[in-house]
Amino acid sequence: MTKQESKKGGAAEQVNNGPVEPRCPEQSAPIKAKVMKQTSRESLHRRNTESEVYDDGTNTFFWRAHTVTVLFILTCALVYVTLLEETPQDTAYNTKRGIVASILVFLCFGVTQAKDGPFTRPHPAYWRFWLCVTVVYELFLIFILFQTVHDGRQFMKYIDPKLGVPLPERDYGGNCLMYDPGNTTDPFHNIWDKMDGFVPAHFLGWYIKTLMIRDWWMCMIISVMFEFLEYSLEHQLPNFSECWWDHWIMDVLVCNGLGIYCGMQTLAWLSMKPYQWQGLWNIPTYKGKIKRIAFQFTPYSWVKFEWKPASNLRRWLAVLGIIFMFLLAELNTFYLKFVLWMPPEHYLVLLRLVFFVNVGGVAMREIYDFMDDPKFHKKLGQQAWLVAAITVTEFLIVVKYDPNTIMLPIPFFIMQCWFLGILLIFTWTLWRFFIRDITLRYKETRRRKQEVPADWDRPLGNGSSATPSGRSKLNGSSETLRQRKS
């Protein structure tokens, strides 16, 4: 038995046998027992959700900090630009290059000096880089938010000259027949027309989202809720207008469902995988070295997310907030393209998705730690804070740049459906966390009041009655105490 275990065992034995010191208060033993029981329950929960990690502690050149090296390289580059390079007489070109150089200097500082997050593989500098990219993107959104609508759209031409042009209108709904008898050459042409690059993108997107959320129910709720949002908002954006089988068969069942299933299988493998890390030069075989290099791109450790939304009000509101922010970020993808005049196939749209893939997992881990262990994680993580700020800023840009589209009235029957859903959620929350708890506490109080008189009236061996708890259990009845004093 280790020293820590012996201390825990001694403390537990002391609580079970009662206080040693005679001057200790009589309620100290139950309080200590309750505190230790709660602590052991929390530690048991953490052991069940966290994987065990073995690391030999090898610290190679790859893992050491290189702050002086990066500073030296950066200084040499600036000296070269200042002394050896001739500055072009092009104001627009110099402005672009100055902005890019400022961003690169900030990224160099952040990669070497920023605070590490919860992820360390493949390298902590990789996640520090994306943290700095998150800051840059939020600053860019703030800049766009403070421009006029015309200037903001025309500013996109500095990034790509093809932008800043109104998008052509396209028909997204069209013929919704799965089998078209009028087309004799290919009656299933409507289905084949939907088999474009967005099908594997949907599958890959939901596979990655499942790895972020790590819960089947939450993923399915978000997937189904987004289809309802597309139904509700198709009068605002034309690309929300899809056929019914495209909504529920192609999206929910095939693309999203298959991505969620593959993601859950990957989560099961990651939770069962042994996490034993050894230095590359300590592995004798080449096969082991190659395997170690491949596993460098897997997590250092694994934490199983147990959201438990119905356990308390704080977790329930946190889960509702996560679902809301996920849906808002999904809607921002479509609305930003519409208000900033970016075609769906533009590389900026793809870069935004790649950005959220890299920062979303870190943000979800920080949100889960903040919600699951608030005593240790006393504030929301930096990446989660920035992702929430970015989502809100994107929505504000949409509201400012095209308020007419956002304020288009929703059909009355759709408003009724959403009002009914919100009312059901509010009613269930009120019942589960307020009415039900008050009722249970009232029943428990009545049960205890009914048990106390029965214990008082229960006779002892000599025909006298005694109190059921408190000092009477340790020292006997009050009559016995009076006899002892006399």
User: Out of 3-12, 275-284, 344-353, 403-412, which region has the weakest mean confidence (pLDDT)?
Assistant: 3-12
Q: Is 366 exposed, middle or buried (0-12, 13-18, 19+ CB in 10 A)?
A: buried
Q: Is 341 exposed, middle or buried (0-12, 13-18, 19+ CB in 10 A)?
A: middle
Write out pLDDT tens, residues 200-247: 888 999 999 999 999 999 999 999 999 999 989 988 888 887 788 888
All residues at 6 or more sequence positions from 63 whose CB lies less than 8 Å from its CB, including other chains: 123
User: Is residue 310 predicted with pLDDT exceeding 50?
Assistant: yes
The dihedral over CA atoms of 376, 379, 382, 384, expressed in degrees to the nearest 10, equals 100
Res 105: pLDDT: 95
Site of tokens 């840009």? 397
Q: At 172, is the secondary structure helix, strand, or coil?
A: coil
Q: Is 295 within 8 Å of 55 (Cβ atoms)?
A: no
Q: How many CB atoms lie within 10 A of CB 299?
A: 19
Write out pLDDT tens, residues 58-111: 777 777 778 999 999 999 999 999 998 888 888 888 999 999 999 999 999 999
For residue 313, which of 478, 403, 222, 434 has the smallest C-alpha distance? 434
User: Is residue 29 predicted with pLDDT exceeding 50?
Assistant: no
**Rounded CA separation 79/75 (Å):** 6
Q: How many CB atoms lie within 10 A of CB 50?
A: 12
